[in-house]
Amino acid sequence: MLDDLSIFDVLLPPIYIFIAWFVTNYIQKKNLYSNPEYKYFKAALLAKIGGAMALGLVYFFYYKGGDTINYFESSRAYINLFFENKSDFIHGWFGNIKDNSDYSFFNDNTGYPVYHHKDVNSFFVVRLLIPIMAVSLNSYFACAVVTGILSFTGVWKLYKTFIEEFPSLKKELAIAILFIPSCIFWGSGIMKDSFTLSAVGWFTYSFYYFFIKKKRKAIYFIQIVIAAFIILSIKPYIFFALLPGSILWLSNQQIKKIENATLRFMVAPFFLFLGGFIAYLSLINMGDSLGIYKLDTVLDRAVIVQKDMKADYYGGNTYDIGDFDASTADIATKAPMAIFSGIFRPGLWDVKNLVMFISSLENTYLLVLTVFLLIRLKVFGFFLLVRKHPMLLFAMLFSLFFAFSVGLTVANFGSLVRLRIPELPFFVSGLFILRHLYEKQSRTKVRF
C-alpha cells in the first residue's frame, strides 16, 4: 500500500491544510459578529479534513486496502491517461459507460482503474474525483483534504438550514450535524459517502429555501437538481427516503399555515395523503434513473442483498433481523428491528474489533438519549411534538425511513456503520429539537 503514496503526500497536505485554515479563519472572523454560528465554522472544517486524513491512514495501515484506495487508483489512472492520450481520456471520462467495455485505454504506465465500466455508481465517484486528483497532483492525502473541504460545504448548508428554524439551538445542532464522529470519519474522505452526505445537505438547504421559504431563485432550483443527480448517480436508495420526506415536509408546512384549528384538522389527512401519493408517483416515474432500485423491484433486491450480507465470507461480522420475503406485509413486520439496527447498532454487545467498539460507544450514547427522551415524553408525546413542526417531521421521517431501509438490507456491521451516516445528522438534530420543544411546553429543563 505504501507504493501508492508519493512525495506529494508529504508536501501537499500541510500546504492545503494551511490554506484552508487561513481562508476559514478569515471567513469566520468576517461573519462571526452578525452570525454567531460561525464560531463553529473553522473547527468543523478542520474536523472534516482530519476525518478525511484519518480514513486514509486507517485504510492504508490497518485495512491495507479497500474502497478509498480503489477510488484513488482509478482516478489516478485517468489522470495518467490524460498525459498519454487526451482523446481517450475525454472519451473515458465523459463517454457512455457502456462503450467502455474494456481497458484498452490503459496500460502499465497509466495503471488500470479498479472502477471502470462494471459499477456505474462507483465509476461516477471516479468521475467526480478526477478534477480533484488533478489539483492534488496524484497525491492521495492532498486529494483527501480537498474532498473533505468540498464535502463540508453541504454539511454546513444543512446546519444553516436547521438553525434558520431553531436559532436558539446553535450549539446542539452543531454537535448533531457538524461533529458526529461517524459522519466526520466516514463522510469526509475519498468515499461515496462524502459526496452523498454533502449532496443531501445541499438538497435539504435548497429545498427549504425554494419551497418552504418560497425564495424562488434559480440558483436554489439548480442546486436541488444537481444534488438529486449526484445522489441518484451514486446511491439512489437515499432518494427513497429523501423525496417522500421532503414532499411530506412541504405538505405539512401548508397544513400549518391554516389558522382555523378545526379546518386544519379536517384537511390534514388530505394534504398528507396527497403528499405521499405525489412522492409515490415521483418514485414510479423515476424508474430509469433509479435503475436496480426502481420501486417495483426494490423489495426483491432487499431480500437478495440481505441474504448476501449474511454470507460466511463476511467472517461473522453480521447481524440477523430474521428471514423475510418480498411481500410488503412480511417486510413491515421487520420494521422495528430494522429501524433499531439502522440507528443503534453495532452496540457494545456486538463488538468484535476496534472500529466496531468506537462505533458502539456512539450508538450506545444515542440509545441512552433516545430512551431517556421517550420516557420523558411518555412515548405518545414524542409523536405529538414531531407532528407540530414540519422540519422536525421531515427530519424524523427521513432518518427513520432511511434507518429502516439500511437496517433491512444491510446485515454486515462493516457496511452498516458507513451506510447509515446520512440519517445521523437528522436523527440527532431531531432529538435535540424534541428536547427543546418539550422544555418550552413543560417549562422543565432537561439535561442529557
CB 103 within 8 A of CB 49: no
Quote the pLDDT of residue 6.
72
Alpha helices per DSSP H over 95-217: 120-135, 140-165, 170-178, 181-186, 192-207
Q: Name which residue leads in pLDDT, 297 or 424.
A: 424
How many beta carbons lie within 10 A of that of residue 340, not counting itself?
A: 17
In this prediction, what percent of the chain has a pLDDT beyond 90? 46
CB 141 within 8 A of CB 58: no
> Which residues, 6 or more positions from 72, have their beta carbon under 8 angstroms from its beta carbon?
4, 129, 133, 140, 143, 190
Q: How confident is the model at residue 356 (pLDDT cuts 50, 70, 90)?
A: confident
Q: Count CA atoms within 13 Å of residue 250 on its CB side.
A: 20
CB 207 within 8 A of CB 224: yes
How many beta carbons lie within 10 A of that of residue 65, not counting itself?
A: 11
Q: Which of 47-61, 316-330, 347-361 has the lowest mean pLDDT?
A: 316-330
Q: How confident is the model at residue 258 (pLDDT cuts 50, 70, 90)?
A: low
DSSP state, 63? I
Write down the mean pLDDT value for the chain: 83
Greatest mean pLDDT range, 43-47, 115-119, 210-214, 250-254 = 43-47
* Concatenated DSSP letters of 116-137: SSS-HHHHHHHHHHHHHHHHTT
| Domain residue ranges in the chain | 1-235, 246-289, 297-448
Q: Name which residue leads in pLDDT, 433 or 92.
A: 433
Q: At what angle do helices 237-256 and 218-234 cross, to 10 degrees?
A: 150
**What are the residues facing 318 on neighbouring strands?**
412
Greatest mean pLDDT range, 2-16, 248-262, 282-296 = 2-16
pLDDT in tens, 382-396: 777 887 788 998 999
Q: Mean per-residue pLDDT for 256-273?
A: 61
